[in-house]
Amino acid sequence: MTERTLLLVHAHPDDETLATGGVIARYAAEGVRVAVVTCTLGEEGEIIPAELSQLGAWAADQLGGYRHGELMAACRALGVAEHRFLGGIGRWRDSGMAGTPSADHPRAFVRGELDEQAAQLREILDELRPQVVVTYDEFGGYGHPDHIRAHHVTMAAAPQAPSVRRVFHVVSPRTPVAESLAGFREVPDLPFVVPDIDDVPTVPDDRVTTVVDTTDAAAAKRAALRAHATQIAVWDGPPVCWALSNNLVQPDLAAEYFVLAHGPADGCSDDLFGGLP
């Protein structure tokens, strides 16, 4: 029997945990070989701990190297078997948010040639031969230019790779997110701000094709969240919850949600590999 391999394409360190930490930990625990491709070092990220603030692009510009260490710790916590940087470590730089000067950096991910980047991903796909690939939807989850570019790179490379049977986009459906946020509004002394559901990027519930239960992966995901200390603040609760530098609490969901973008649908309603030989 062919070894099952799941490959996830993410833009920056921490995206693998925030968006898909549950499925990574779940499938790794089930014996699936899980591989993560990270497209940049996240050099333009904001920094939560004051004592690390001078690592930023506005000062020492050492955040990317520091986040590499955080990423490796998170991958260990989740059970990632293989990690690759697109084009090699440091090839592509975090482009920052749309309209910022960092997008003009010569190595900015969004400035690269799509064909070159797709060829770099295809090389990884041919090496690791995953049956299932996961990335973002066409909006990049919340509109970050690097997420959108990761989507385009993946969709240019993965559907044509011989081993790939399915490609999924990870999404956040409105109803589960709204229910999670409503629960946080009832928590006394919550150190984070609960956003309004209309201010949170979500998709209509009926877009979702696949719901993967990640309840048993919660502890591993939280350990990985803690590893990304420059980007994520974790509160011990109860309940345990977390926020990014904007201090907005992130939804805590018992499942991760996907839209099938390529491949057969039969069997995939609750399992990324369901129905595949």
In a domain, 25, yes or no: yes
Cis peptide bond prior to 238, omega within 30° of 0: yes
Q: Beta strands of 86-232 (E only): which ranges?
A: 132-136, 166-171, 210-213
Cα distances (Å, whole numbers) of residue 199 to 149, 176, 181 = 23, 15, 12
Which portions of the chain are predicted below pLDDT 70? 1
Please tell me the predicted confidence (pLDDT) of residue 2: 76
Please tell me the predicted confidence (pLDDT) of residue 181: 98
In a domain, 180, yes or no: no
| Host domain of residue 10 | 5-172+201-220+254-262
In a domain, 177, yes or no: no
177-196 pLDDT, tens digit per residue, is 999 999 999 999 999 999 99
Q: Which CATH number do you get for residue 144? A: 3.40.50.10320
First-to-final CA distance of the chain: 9
In a domain, 163, yes or no: yes
- Measured in whole angstroms, the distance separating CA 263 from the mean position of its chain's CA atoms is 21
Q: Give the bridge partners for 167, in sequence order.
A: 133, 262
In a domain, 189, yes or no: no
In a domain, 274, yes or no: no
Q: What is the 3-state secondary structure (H, E, C) of 86-126?
A: CCCCCCCECCCCCCCHHHHCCCEHHHCCHHHHHHHHHHHHH
DSSP 3-state of 271: coil
Please tell me the predicted confidence (pLDDT) of residue 110: 98
Total domain count, the chain? 1
Q: Is 115 exposed, middle or buried (0-12, 13-18, 19+ CB in 10 A)?
A: exposed
